[in-house]
Amino acid sequence: DAKTTQPNSMESNEEEPVHLPCNHSTISGTDYIHWYRQLPSQGPEYVIHGLTSNVNNRMASLAIAEDRKSSTLILHRATLRDAAVYYCILRYQGGKLIFGQGTELSVKP
Amino acid sequence: DGGITQSPKYLFRKEGQNVTLSCEQNLNHDAMYWYRQDPGQGLRLIYYSQIVNDFQKGDIAEGYSVSREKKESFPLTVTSAQKNPTAFYLCASIRRLVDGMNTEAFFGQGTRLTVV
């Protein structure tokens, strides 16, 4: 199974952009890249996903490298409510959703 | 409103007892998953099911059992064989990949199981 690698933690200042990196060097051509975030004592919530092209939605942007071996979740203006653990995962055609350790994002006012 | 529901939110059991955690979804999703999360850790996959009456072991299936008799329900039983059952358990569902379509996973709010 392909794995993802993320930094354990990152810090940001409120109102500034945040770039959360993810490496997935063994990704296969049919794996989708998903991002979820989890607040304490809650289930993860969906943020964004993509396959090859960059994606934007109301929550964030996803930039995918041309070789698909890495991706970056971009929060354009971090707020205190964005403090959470962010998970980058690959969705296999076989259906497994494998989570890594995630990146704990802290946002300073 | 459609969603995925786990119950109860908190559960206490005595050591040596089996306990069943409920997970129900009304999203008409094909695939359902059970994860375990320990403090400060990521999610680890216990079991998953792509269709009714079929399921596969995840990375840490020992000491757990599941059933998938109905599309909307995927209960998890924590048996007495699970050596360290105290944890936060999360259930998720997702529409199965069909013809290149891809959709997001929905998670329940979790059940915090404490075994004393």
Strands A9-13 and A103-108: parallel
B40-49 per-position pLDDT tens digit: 888 999 999 9
- Please give the share of chain B, as a percent, with pLDDT higher than 70: 94
Q: A100: distance to nearest CA of chain B, Å?
A: 6
Contact A86, A48 (CB under 8 A): no
Per DSSP, the residues of B12-34 read EE-TT--EEEEEEE-S--SEEEE
Amino acid A99: pLDDT: 83
In this complex, the residue of B97, B106, B112 whose CB is nearest that of residue A93 is B97
State the Cα–Cα distance between residues B17 and B79, nearest whole angstrom: 7
- Residue A7, chain B, CB below 8 Å: the answer is no
Q: Across the interface, do B97 and A95 touch by the CB < 8 Å criterion?
A: yes
State the Cα–Cα distance between residues B53 and B80, nearest whole angstrom: 24
Lowest mean pLDDT among A11-15, A41-45, B34-38, B98-102: B98-102
Residues in A 29-68 with any Cβ partner in B closer than 8 A:
32, 34, 36, 41-46, 49, 51
Contacts of A49 (CB under 8 A, 6+ apart): A32, A33, A34, A35, A55, A62, A91, B102, B104
Per DSSP, the residues of A28-75 read -TTPEEEEEEE-TTS--EEEEEESSS-EE-SS-EEEE-TTSSEEEEEE
Task: Inform me whether the pLDDT recorded for B93 exceeds 70.
Answer: yes
> pLDDT tens digits for chain A (109 residues)?
668 999 999 999 999 999 999 999 988 888 889 999 999 889 999 999 999 999 999 999 999 999 999 999 999 999 999 999 999 988 765 567 878 889 999 999 9
Search chain B and give the residue with CA nearest A101: B42
- Sign, CA dihedral A6-A7-A8-A14, equals negative
Query: Residue B9: pLDDT band by 50, 70, 90 thresholds?
Result: very high
In this complex, the residue of B59, B96, B106 whose CB is nearest that of residue A95 is B96
In this complex, the residue of A34, A43, A85 whose CB is nearest that of residue B90 is A43
- Please give the share of chain B, as a percent, with pLDDT higher than 90: 77
Q: B91: distance to nearest CA of chain A, Å?
A: 8
